[in-house]
Amino acid sequence: MRTLLRNAALSPFGTAMLIDGDRVGWVGDDAEASRYVDQADTVLDVGGRLVTPAFVDAHVHLSQTGVRLRSVDLAVATRASDVLDAIAERARTQDVGVLLGFNWDETTWSDRTLPTAAELDRAAPGRHVYLSRVDGHSGIVSAALADHVPGIAEAEGWDGTGRVERDAHHLVRDVISALTTKSQVKRSLVAALAEAVEVGLGSVHELSAPHLNAPGDLELIREIGEQVPILDVIPYWGEHVSTGGVERARELGFRGAAGDLNVDGAFGSRTAALQADYADRPEHRGHRYLDPEAVAAHVVACTRAGLQAGYHCIGDAGTASAVDGFRLAVKEIGIEAVRAARHRLEHVELIDLTSLTDLAEWGVVASVQPAFDAAWGGTEKMYAERLGAERALASNPLRSFHAAGITLAFGSDSPVTPLDPWGGVRAAVLHHNENERLPVDVAFAAHTVGGWRAAGVDDAGELRQGQLASYAVWDTSAFPALAEGETAPKCLRTVVRGKIVFDEEGALG
């Protein structure tokens, strides 16, 4: 199947493009396109609209994204009573299953007092209620649900009030997973996959892990892909080699034993590991889950198995543990083996900038979320509250990564922040720290070609001959500057490997 696009504003250049099967066959201008008209099965006049490579989101959680779309959105809550009212309303209309809520953020409340398990029981009598904090690293549960979780009373991260983090949080998620049916998971995945293509995504990296979801989600995604065209899903499994994670990732066909293999937690839940105390909790520095030796053992095992290794690391003590682990792995198996594997670090929000040269030399990719800075960065938001202004401005050092020669791959960590690739580009361009802002073209590349490079794919992410034919058509005629207040383009069509996966009805005829 050959499709010829004409009268297009191709990014970065050209006005016409021939798609030959799943590849770009030719790119040029309309005058040259005439010689391909007879070779094309379809000729499409794009009407002068912008055509770009489809975006890649390098860090998503698809089933959780779909669940969020069908659950109580607590982002607008401004106090505990708002949360309780929303849960009570949902309890009146949803009489089966676990009652789920997402995205509460007490740092935006005038009164930071959290709802308790007892209050959730009164709002939703007898119901299993789980409310995830916006960062996904802590939550609140009803007493009815807590009573259903074996071992929670003795678990790290349980204080009896209903708030859960660390081990207690993982236990709760395990129980919720057991209470969720296969058909419910599949519906969530369908919803998330549909949302992804509607915003111009042609690929996502699914960051699965035992504490997040079952490995069977990948098989469900494959089933959905056999029924309807979907975007490319590149799967990772975040489990350490010591518990069989490397072998499991290889057996199940995952790209790596990587992603949400946590070295530490998150700033909002005060579980990210810091070198110095949290500004708003003296004598507390978060939690580190993996030391450099454990990091190194996993890197070595993944490298030898032909898989990518990768870690979730956010605080400066967490990122130091990851960097030191890579250093130990390089000593054991050599820099060339490590570099060829193209391992990754996720988030990397606070880091000693002197270590960036080493990461670049080792070929480690930084899979980062610019939207975190937009949501919580600067001197007046959550990062400043948790870290103090100086460390807040030092977080998410995007320009420093780029200047060091490190491959950047942008993602959303959805459902932590929405699937919004133009928003991610904008956040990088308008970083709260002016010294860490990226030019628009560099930021765009990190959300397209950078995502493919992070997955070890070197023939995708650009509109040029021989590349994968994954692209998006937008409701604008020019590449946006994404200045403050400028509206981001709307996606009219998303094409993945030459197949239409989303089409705004009537937009392109």
Average pLDDT of every residue of the chain: 95
By the 8 A CB rule, do 264 and 312 touch?
yes
Residues 244-262: pLDDT tens digits?
999 999 999 999 999 899 9
pLDDT of residue 259: 86
pLDDT beyond 90 at 215: no
pLDDT of residue 203: 98
Domain with CATH 2.30.40.10 in the chain: 2-53+465-503
pLDDT of residue 329: 98
By the 8 A CB rule, do 137 and 169 touch?
yes
pLDDT level of residue 418 (50, 70, 90 thresholds) = very high
Domain with CATH 3.10.310.70 in the chain: 66-166
Neighbours of 79 (CB within 10 A): 16
Regarding the domain with residue range 182-454, which homologous superfamily does it belong to in the CATH classification? Metal-dependent hydrolases (3.20.20.140)
Residues 58-88: pLDDT tens digits?
999 999 899 887 788 898 999 999 999 999 9
Residues 92-104: pLDDT tens digits?
987 767 889 988 9
Element (H, E) at 33: helix 30-33
Distance CA 481, CA 469 (A): 25
Q: What is the rounded average pLDDT of the residues 279-297?
A: 98
Domain with CATH 3.20.20.140 in the chain: 182-454
User: Poorest-confidence range of 22-31, 98-107, 186-195, 439-448?
Assistant: 98-107
Architecture of 66-166 per CATH? Roll (3.10)
Architecture of 2-53+465-503 per CATH? Roll (2.30)
User: Poorest-confidence range of 95-104, 302-311, 407-416, 460-469?
Assistant: 95-104
Distance CA 207, CA 210 (A): 10
pLDDT level of residue 240 (50, 70, 90 thresholds) = very high
Distance CA 313, CA 320 (A): 9
pLDDT of residue 485: 82
Length of the chain counted residue by residue: 509
> Is the pTM above the cut of 0.75?
yes
pLDDT of residue 197: 98
Radius of gyration in angstroms for the set of CA atoms belonging to the chain, rounded to a whole number: 23
Which whole-number Å values give the CA distances from 480 to 22, 112, 190, 426, 440, in the listed order? 27, 39, 30, 10, 9
Give 312's strand partners. Answer: 262, 346
pLDDT beyond 70 at 509: no
By the 8 A CB rule, do 74 and 101 touch?
yes
Residues 6+ apart with CB under 8 A from 7: 15, 16, 30, 45, 46, 47, 48
Is the Cα torsion angle 464, 256, 193, 411 positive or negative in sign? negative
